[in-house]
Amino acid sequence: MRQSWTKFKNWVMSFTYQERRNKQLEIFRTKIEHYSSMDKDELNFEYFNCKAEYEHKKNILTLVIITIAVSLIMNIWEKLFSFLNMAIKYDNYMNDSQDTFVVCLMIALVIGLTLVVVIVIILSAIFNDIKQLKKEIELIEYVKAEEENEN
């Protein structure tokens, strides 16, 4: 019982700021140790790879944002609403119940919400990758500066 209580307490404490900070500090120290143990060429190789990947991710982010902006400017949503309008006219012409309209509305809502969720997930993943790469670049630059100060 005591052991499970300790595990539960440790699990709850893992969500506190202090515990997260301690974990991040430990990761930071291990990364500094890892980069410090590399020779100069290997460190430069890591730096250039991180820098290239960072720039690539920034370009992808720019492309995604431009694509979203163009789709908004070209009024892609108008096509979705014209589909709904056509469904309403068809529904009125056929003199059916409102089942067709409800189905078309549900399809439009599912498509719209799916697009929004996918875009948000893609953007958040790209932002997170860029943030992590920027941290790596700054860390490598710090290690390089420390090594130059030692010499």
Domains in the chain: boundaries: 61-151
| Predicted pLDDT at 92 | 65
d(CA 86, CA 36): 66
| Predicted pLDDT at 42 | 95
Confidence check: pLDDT of 10 > 80: no
Question: Whole-number mean pLDDT of the chain?
Answer: 86
Between 74 and 49, residue with greater pLDDT: 49
d(CA 129, CA 123): 10
Of 119, 118, 91, 121, nearest to 103 by C-alpha is 91
Predicted TM-score (pTM) above 0.75: no
CB 140 within 8 A of CB 37: no
